[in-house]
Structure 1
Amino acid sequence: MKLIKLEALGFKSFAEPITLRFDGGVVGIVGPNGSGKSNINDAIRWVLGEQSSKELRGDTMEDVIFSGSKTVQPMNKAQVTLTFDNRDRLCSIDTDLVVISRLLERGKGTNEYFLNGEKCRHKDIKVLAMETGIGKSSLAIISQGTVSDIANSNDEDRRLIFEEAAGVSKYKLRRAESERKLINSESSLKTVETIVKELEKQLIPLKTKAEKALKYKAMFDELKTVEIGYLAHEIESNTELYEQLNNELEGVQETKDSYSREIETIKEQIHQKRESLKELNSKISKANGKKEGIESLLKNMEDSVNEERIRRNLIISGQSIVSEQERIQAIILELQTWESKEKYLQESLTESENKRKETEDKIKLAEQQVNETNRKINELSARLHKLNGRLEHLKQKLRHDTNLSRGTASIVQNKVLFKGYIGLVSELFSVPREYTIAIETILKHASQNIVVQNQDVAIKGIEYLKKNESGRATFIPLSSLKPKFVRDDYLMIAKNHRSFVGIASELVSIDERHQILNDYLLGNILIVKDIQSAAELSKTLENRYMIVSLDGNVIRTGGIMVGGEAEISNILGIQAHIDELNAEKPGLENVLHQLRKSLSNYEQTIKNDRVMFSNYDSRVMTTLSELKSAQNKITKFKTDISLSKEHNKDFNISDSSLSEDKIAELRRDLSVVKYDIQSNLAIKESVEADLNVLDEQKDKLVELSNALNTSFFEKTNLFNKTQNKLEKHKERLGEHYQLTLEYAKEHFPLTISLSQAREIVKELRREIDQLGSVDLNSIEELNEVQKRYDEHVANKDEVYQAIEILKQAIDELDKKITMRLTNIVDDVNQEMHKVFSSMFGGGTAKVEFVDPKNILESGISIFAQPPGKSIKNLKLFSGGEKSLIAISLLFAILRARPLPLCILDEVEAALDEANVVRFAEYLQELKSKTQFLVITHRPGTMSRVDAIIGATMQTRGVTSVFSVKLDDAKKLIDKENHSN
């Protein structure tokens, strides 16, 4: 592979396009100092990938672009192209010509590379240079400095020349990369092993927690399946029962109303019958009186007929008339007595009837009050039952949502062991419902913290958890807390904001003994209405305080904002609801107690009034009987008086007036009266019979009504219980399981009996409660940790295998490097003797490893024995000898490992003329395998090259190149020497 052409434009001093053709084996590049001949070397190095501007004798890479002169404008780009003959296919590109170009434009700062006209990468050029041996780090470019380095460097630095010659650079790079990877891999292995051990520690408790969680989940899934089926069946059956009871209650109410109407009707009938009976008794009483009068008159008349004669004889004396008048006067006096008694009895009867009616009205009113009180008791009992159900549901939900960590649950369950235990943070605060989201957002991470009196209690709790391996918990000792507050000036600003709600600590309630906890957790936190207001206020307060909106968005101190959908368990909200219900419950229970007490009083009043009613009723009947007797007496006395007056009137009547006609008439009157009496007695008996029937009907209806009231009360209780049960089941199905009845019926059919389902649910709940606190996240956490563990174990194995592979690779590379270095030293030693003898006119030289046992790190020494001298180390020779020995070494290396191209940049500058000639002549021996470009100003070299390229600056700052003859070259040299 030979370099056949170089083209450049804008590179350094090449302001005009140049084209250099390299035809011979040894081409000399000559010209005065400063003519730009070394720029040809720089151009070749630049195209082959040189990245160091210092190596190209500049400060920045743009310094390679022609910067202009007094007569020539600066150029904006530099471009150099090398063309190689690749017919020997030393380069892996399958073309006879390989063309490499590099372009740099001013201001862009990026280089462009081209290979056979196609754009490529810098890496592609480096690979090509390395595989052909013409790279910047090889022996393809040798300068005077290179010779000096070989001559004067220590053994370790000199080793680099041999490594380059041996071609081990790529192996060393690969070895360095492998070592870097090995170090990284070993570091990674330690890290992975540490992680694996840590994950193993995490897995042990996590497996326990996850097993518990899986057990809980399995039981919960079974509970869910059975309970949903049970709930669906219960809801359906209870709905039917609810509707049935509702219909029955409506029917019972209608029946009750019907009974009440019938009772009122019967009572009205009883009243009418009693009025009729009263009227009949009056008629019968009067008739009896009239009957007794007629009977008495009839008897008297019959007696008068027999005594007619006697009385006739006595008439004269007047004795009988006086006696009869006296009797009438006595009867009148007795009549007046009985009339007074009748009046008294009549008044007494009216009073008793009025009191009886009043008592009856009181009984009716009391019965209405009893019914109304029963209704209120039923409603209140149902409400209280519903409240208790709601309370129990909320308590269950609170227990479920709280989901204490293992450590916290352990302390709470054994709190009796810790004197000074106060409670969980979430239990100590009472929060109005409108503030629960904001307060719970603030206390979210502290809600499960355990509040204790002092540090001693906290230490005791921590030691307990550690001893029993019960997890971890956070303790808040009240004695260690200090209140937090908002500075007065900032607080004044906050209070004047339109959306300011208050300081969090002032919006909650807490036992005054624990006020320090409130001040510590909430004393310096502000509550506002919305996030926009929070942002405004936070900015005004210079982001000094946490501000929380009512819907749970937060601006922390420093201005960090946290918001979106509120992710809270609403524990405080549930607790607030429980507190409200607990506050409401005693009032309802007290009202219920008062109602039951009133009901008892009403029932006792009814009982007492019924006794009074019975007494008044008996008194009325007794008074009626007495009144009847008195009226009979009055009627009798009036009849006696009437008859006696008639008798006295007719006493002087003739005996003919006392005829049988009068007696017959009286007898007829008596028969009529008796008939009237019998008729009225029959009617009275019928009325009394009707009255008895009506009383029995009323009593039966009252009894039925009372029984119906009892049934109504029982059905109402059952209805309320069914309603509460139905609502509770619907609420659990809807809120807890988020399911509709139709979906539950379709997807969770109950395949066992209700009693079995009830027992299974009860048993599963008991078993779930026995599990205590469960961390459901532990399942996912275990899977994640197990996955990470498995990945890291696999990674550990992979890293371990990679380490072994890297070690093997390094061993292989070490063997290759050792073998190649050994070979190059052996090959160079074989050539060194020949080259040295030729260059020195005899003698010998050799190279040796300083430490043959450690070839990978050993330096390389050079020993030489010029003719007539003893062998000694290179460092002991003079400067000129050192340079010649170094050149001899380079030639030996080129003989051992020929390169397609070698650029020699004034390497013979330190040699005397005789040695320059030897140097130039030896190049002719090597040119068959290596193409030489020799930059020189030594005549001895110029005279022995195959072709010469001259460099000069006809225009200041601009290099021109041309071919010259040897004579012309000598003239240039002479001119240069003369100028020097």
Structure 2
Amino acid sequence: MFKLQRLEITGFKSFADYTEIVFTGSGITAVVGPNGCGKSNVSDAISWVLGEQRAKSLRGAEMKDVVFQGSKNRKPSGMAEVVLHLVRDENTLDVDDTELEDIDEALSEIDEKAVDVDALEAEHTEAETVAAVSDQAVGDDPAVVDEEAVVEEKAQAAQVGSAQIVERTIKTKRHWRPRSFALDFAPGEAVSVTRRLYLSGESEYQLNGKTCRLRDIQDLFSGTGLSGAHYAIIEQGRIGQILSAKPADRRNLIEEAAGISKFRTRQRAAESRLDSAKTNLGRISDIVSEIDKQANSLRRQAAKTRRYIALQEDFRVLLRKLFVAEGKHFSLLIEELGTQLESARTLERDLAEKVSAQEEVFRTATAAARSAEEALSAIRQKHADNELERDRTEREHRYQSQQIVELKARGERLVGDISAAEERLQLAASEHERLSEEEQKESSEADASRLILVEAEKHYNAKLDDVRRIEAEMDGRRSELMRHTAAVERFDEIARQLAFNLERMTERSNGLKNEAMRAEETYAEHVADAEKVGGELAAERERLDAYNTEKQQIVAAVSESREKLRTAEETFRAAQNEHSRTLNRLETLRELEEKRAVYAPQIQRIFGEQAAIGVRPIGVLADFISVSERAEKAVESVFGQYLQTVLVKDLADARKVSSWLRQNRIGRVSVLIAPNVKAASNGHENGVLPATIGDALGASPEMAGVLRRAFPREMAAVLVEELRDSVDADENKIVVGANGEMLVGGGLFISSRETDSGKDDSLLAFKRELSGLSKAEAMLAKDVAAAEQVVLRESEALSVVEEKAVDLQSLIIKVERHLLSLDLQEKNLKQDIERAERHRKVVADEIEQLAGEMTEVGRKIEEARESRRNAAEQSEGSQAELDRIAGELAAARERADMENSALNEKRTMAATSSERRRAVHSALKRIESEQKEVEMRIGVLKAELAATEQKIVELTGSVSEISERISGAGADLEREKAEVDAAIMAVTAEREAADTASGELGNLNRLAVEAMNERGAFEVRQAEATTHLRNIHENCAQELNTSLSELMKAEELPEDFQLEGSREHVESLRERLEGFGAINMLAVEELAEAEERLLFLTSQRQDIIESIASAEEALREIKERSRERFKNAFEAINANFSTFFQELFGGGRGEMTLLESEDILEAGIEVVAQPPGKRLQNILLLSGGEKAMTAIALVLAIFKYRPSPFCLLDEVDAPLDEANVGRFVDQIATMAEKTQFIVITHNKRTMEAARALYGVTMQEAGVSKVVSVKFE
């Protein structure tokens, strides 16, 4: 067990300052104080340092509320820190650490067997994307501390020798870690637990001054009542919650006392891993199933790819010949069309010349006709103009006659108007004479009134000038008074402002002196810091130089390693490509061999329907011989179709085959009975041609014997290099040349067989190629494996060197950053020193300047006061003078008013006279204007009358002339008609000549168009042929990757080559190729990868199955031990509870019961309480005191079973009366011999039982202080 020694609090809640509370070794310690002073904050501090994570349990809304928030006179604290000091005593608690170690070991083993299904799924998804084959991680319980998780980090490091930043993802797997600290402390050893929280949200735990995890602290106090349910810390109000809590929550107290909270943590971890493993098992099973489907699909794709490659090769061979044939065909066609086109062009040119000549004739005739038509049009236009002129003359005659009549009437009206105007002029003259006399009379009267008015205005203006003079003098005196008054006020304000400035300058002077002292201190600090940073900077630069030297060496090593790796990879890729080509060809041939695709259809059906026949053939004859390449054609010529002879074990099998052939009407097949035959030996590969065909077969002795019996003549055939005339012509012999030519019996000559492609596609050549490819593939596979090993070695070497380079570059970056930081610090410090120096100087200058300013301000204050006295005296004199001038102004204004009344009367009289004169003058002007207007009117009318008479004379002469022209118009009409008739006859003759020329030109144009169309047709055919040839060139380059000219030089066509048939055959092959659909050319390689991955995932699935079994076993063991511990603890605590209940209540009955449940670990706990003298009732119906006593009895029962290092009770005695407080105190005093009790209370009885008393006060608002008293 641990004993509580002391508690250190800094910045926690109301404890703003560092506070230390020292506890006695045993007994009761009481914490007292008034409400609101912070007593309960001591309880919260202990709960918080022990790992409390719920802010509500600490009476806050969020965790940062535990940091001191500030008060009226204090700023908020930036950090809260609580340190709990304990010491291990002799009474060590018996905790079975061995059991925990076994369980931890099992959990670690589960983690080791765990499979990262997320990574497998990611790889599977990537593989699906690459292969174009159609087809999340279950996290652990976040409530479990240190559960397995995958954390992705980004590490940045610059590649050595470049400025590129490499970003990589690091996956870190955190396994179950039982403990990161040794928690077995020796008796008497001190232990300190620290928790810090910053306002920024950062939190830190420490154990003995070293950073630790929260789980380490929980493990340290697990099973002691200070962790989990922490029944040893009963906060304010929690004593009643123990009884009102749910049965499932109440069992947490018993679990903590039973010491199974550690098992609970590991149980959750095991359950989490079990769920994760089962989920992963399902996921990996799905992946295995999916990859198995992919493998089956890839097997089909690989077979399809092999067939596609073989057909594509045949297609390319035929396509080459077809391109050559079409190229020659269209080249010849283009030459023929060129000759025909030249003839058509010559004919077209001749006809074009004739058309040009005829067009000239046609143009001449057309021009003559057009001239005649233009002459006719001119004559007709001239006649039309003449007709128009005659019509215009007649209209003019009528108009002018009408004008003469109208002008005579207008002249008569003008004579009447002139007479009337002259009469009106005489009347206006008499009226003008009368008004002139009246105007002279009114002018005399008005002049007399104006003279009288002028004299009156002079008298009034003189009086008014006196008033203005006095007012101006008064305004001057008033302004002078205001100026003196304002000066008095201004000088008062100046004196006050200067006094205030002097006071401020005094304060400023004191502040500058203090600032000078601080400037000196700051300057000294910056100088010291600069010296320190300069030393660090020099050391870091030396370190950076060393790293850069090492970096250059590593850069060279990296370059060399990369070059080696590149060379190795190129070698590996070349070998791999060669091996892939060979392997693809080999697999294609093997597939053809397995399906007997190179054999006759009858042979294929026999091997395909072995079950129906009831015979299992041994093979065909070609399977049991091995012929060298030089002798292949000779053997093919001799044996021919017999090479496909079916081999069976006995005669019965041969008869079954024959019977089946007859029944199915398939045809004839050779069957050879060859029991106990062996595979062929190697053929003659030494370059020497065997003497006979039998020697060239390379068959086993058994097979050779069978062949000699079946084919005696063929086996004895003589094999020669070349058939000549000198060859032995024995009639019983067969002589065959190495090129396949054969002479039978000296009289039958058989030529060798040659294919169109020039390739040897015989059965023996196929067998030889298959055997050769098998050997070549094995050798190439070894070469690929060796090259791959070299690549792996070089890659590993490069990885090691690059890793060193990255690590070194990271160090360099770190040092450079530190150097940059130090350099920046040095610059900043130099700037700070300069600023501090300038600051010192500025402060000194300001102090000196301020002293001078203060002296000047004192002098200005005295000047302002003297000026104020002078201004006051002048103000009083100005006021007396102003009163005198005011009296004079009143008298002058009275005299001016009298003169103004007389002036107004004279103004009225003068205005009346002037108005009468203006009226007469206006009437006179109106009459004069009217006379002038009438005179002008008479002049205008006389002028108009004279013009009218002149116009009448002119119109009369014009009418006579027009009448003469009208009388001579008849003769002009006859002459114009004769001119028109002659012009019409000339136009008709010219039009007939033009029509004749047009007909001849039309015939020539038709012939020219026909020639041009013929030439165009030849050009179109030639262009089509050229386009076809160009398309053939393009198609050849695109499909065969070679030019048509080179292909025509290299390829020879046979004489019987059919162009149309070949086209149809090519299209047929193309359709077959297109019918294959999408082809996966990498299917073979992908199939190998898929099968390898399938094997790997199957083993991973087995690991998960084993992990599930381990997790279930660990979970079973945890639950078994937890049940045993819980049962023992429950029975013992229940008995203790009954005893303490009776002692506290003085009788009655109290017990705990388990609610029914299938598992005791999940059963809730019900508390039954029956105080003495009462019936058994619902516990929630008890009084507050009874509930508190019952809860205290339960807590004491738990303490008796599992004593805690210390117990903190926060006002649990508040609901109790004096008698019950006594019983409560007696009980904890008895238990205080083994457990420290810290009791927060207001009760005197509880205080009396304490050995030490701490008082919490709040002398400063919002800040708690602690005072202590220790009782001896």
Q: TM-score normalized by structure 2?
A: 0.33
Q: TM-score normalized by structure 1?
A: 0.42
